[in-house]
Structure 1
Amino acid sequence: MNIKIILLLILLSVSHSSCSQTTHKTDQIQHANPVITEKKRANSSPIAFNIKGTWKTECGKEKPSIEFFDDQSAVMDFDTKSGTLARINLNIEKNNDTFNVKFDGLTGVTKGNPDLEWVNFSREETIAEIKTVRENTFEISWFGFYNQKSKKRNSQENPFAITEKNVQLVRCN
């Protein structure tokens, strides 16, 4: 009987020691993770800005608007000086914290729009630049279309606010 009690005490002591070591190791791992997590946070890049969606100066307005399909392509709807709808395809190039917007041709809706010299507009020159203001707001700086024939910018008035060069747009969906 004494041998059974001694063996039981030895087993309990070994078991307690093993659990204590496991708990100690678990505590060490749990305390180590916040440091690793903090390092990851400190070294990680900023949260990516999601540009996808429809953007306007004021939600509820029909035009002008930009609809981003992803961070590389979009369409823009606006009225030209004569009040005719223009819908253009845009090519987007991300450059650090800005998006460079380039003219990428007319959509079928705009093919008959004679207000601007669409065939002479460069697809290589930036027509606008977008910078993040906050999560659902960005600022668009409008430069106008670059006419390769005349070597000048056309339609330099910002379609979102004719008297302003820089305009804030909000996500509307």
Structure 2
Amino acid sequence: MKKVKNYIIGSLILLMFSCKGQDKNEVINNSNNQKVNDLNGITLLEVEKTDSLYTVYNRCDGGNGVLRISEKEFYYYHPQEGAYYNIQDVEKINSNKYKITSDGYYFFKNDKLIPENSVWLLIKKNNLLWEFGKESNKNKALLSDSLNIKIGKIAYKVQPLSECSENNEEEVKGDNLVGKWGTNCENPIGIVIKENELIMCVEPNVYYIHLTKINKKKEDKILKYRLKGFEGIGSKDVNAQSYFNDNEIAIVKILEDNKIEFTWLGFYNKVNKERQNRESLISNENPTILKKCY
């Protein structure tokens, strides 16, 4: 009887120490599959408040924002810019708040290529609304579960054609360069142009090149871009340290009929003063003619 009593006491002490120090936050790590990502399969749509109702507004110039989360990656599209992100881990802060760490830019530190992870916050405001955005960004997107459209809790509205500008019949100007451009709009490979930045999608989910516009005038018909950074695991193989300089590596020429000509010059190596990787990265031709997708 004494042995049984000692065994029970020993088991209780062992249990107390095994529980002591356990983190209150629940960490979901895909690399060791400790827990299942309970956000897996969720689809949230960006909404805006119209009168007393929240509405998913599908605009002609970029559609509507969406966040789709799977076990190992998520896709986030904010009108005119979207990308897939590999999930490093998900930390469940409480029942309504998640911190998601994903891959991001690659940068150099002490002559080494270092991945810069991005940290996102997903916060459930109530039974209808969520907030989502980078932890460092105060402005978060307002989202709602796509199922709420089916049950009538949120509305869905398509922007009338009468309100849409007929860009296909207009000359492309600096003001409406912003958007996705490609040879085939069904293919994610292409470029996304922002006000002062251009993003090349070389291989979806794997390799992106970020460029910064050199000339700033909106009336310019020929725009030049230099290297800003890399994104995705595919960029690890690029000898990028010598490529960061002020020399242009891509040129956009504005054409008629809502088209542009994109020329890839290749990375400029500041060490040997030569162009490298000059072959086309987004099509079989260089220069290549691109049309606006959205």
Bin of the TM-score, shorter chain as denominator length: 0.5 to 0.7
Match of 2:173 in 1: 48
Q: Which structure: larger Rg?
A: 1
- TM-aligned CA deviation for residue 99 of structure 1: 0.5
Report 1 or 2 for greater relative contact order, CA contacts < 8 Å, sequence distance ≥ 6: 1
Segments of structure 2 that go 5 or more residues without pairing to the other structure are: 1-170
For residues 13-61 of structure 1, the C-alpha deviation after alignment (integer angstroms, 9 at most, x for no partner) is xxxxxxxxxxxxxxxxxxxxxxxxxxxxxxxxx9833210011111100
What is the CA deviation profile of residues 83-127 of structure 1, one whole-angstrom value per residue up to 9, with x for unaligned ones? 9932121101336310102111113x24x6333211210331111
Tell me the amino acid that sits aligned with residue 114 of structure 1.
K
User: Could you tell me whether the CA contact under 8 Å between 1:93 and 1:99 is conserved in 2?
Assistant: yes
Distance 1:123 1:51, change over 3 A: farther
Amino acid of the residue matched to residue 291 of structure 2?
Answer: V
Equivalent residue pairs, number: 120
Does residue 85 (structure 1) correspond to residue 206 (structure 2)? The answer is yes
Matched, 1:138 2:260: yes
Partner of 2:293: 172
SS at the partner of 1:157? coil
Q: TM-score, normalised by structure 2?
A: 0.37
How far, CA to CA, are the matches of 1:47 and 1:60 in structure 2? Answer: 21
Offset, 1:135: 4.6
CA distance in 2, matches of 1:139, 1:104: 21
The alpha-carbon distance between structure 1 residues 166 and 126, as it changes in their structure 2 partners (threshold 3 A), is same
Residue aligned with 1:61, SS: coil
Structure 1: how far apart are the matches of 2:267 and 2:198?
A: 16
C-alpha contact 1:142 1:166 (8 A) present in aligned 2: yes
> Is contact 1:84–1:113 with CA below 8 Å preserved after alignment?
no
Give me the whole-angstrom Cα distance separating, in 1, the residues matched to 2:252 and 2:172. Answer: 17
Distance 1:150 1:61, change over 3 A: same
Q: As a proportion of its length, which structure holds more strand?
A: 2
Match of 1:58 in 2: 184
Query: What is the DSSP-based 3-state SS (H/G/I as helix, E as strand, rest coil) of the residue aligned with 1:134?
Result: coil
The amino acid of 2:246's aligned partner reads E
Is 1:99 aligned with 2:223? yes
* Bigger helix fraction: 1
Any runs of at least 4 consecutive aligned residues in structure 1 with deviations exceeding 3 A, and if so which? Answer: 46-49
C-alpha distance in 1, partners of 2:256/2:181?
13
Query: What is the match of residue 10 of structure 1?
Result: none
* Residue identity in the other structure for 1:48: K
Deviation at 1:139, TM superposition (A): 0.3
Measured on the aligned residues, the alpha-carbon RMSD in Å equals 2.5
Would the aligned equivalents of 1:140 and 1:168 in 2 still touch at CA under 8 Å?
A: yes
Unpaired stretches in structure 1, ≥5 consecutive residues: 1-45
241, 246, 264: which one pairs with 1:124? 246
Percentage of identical aligned residues: 23
Letter in 1 for 2:260: F
Relative to structure 1, the CA distance from residue 86 to residue 123 in structure 2 (aligned partners, 3 Å threshold; closer, same or farther) is farther
Change (3 A) 1:160 1:47: closer
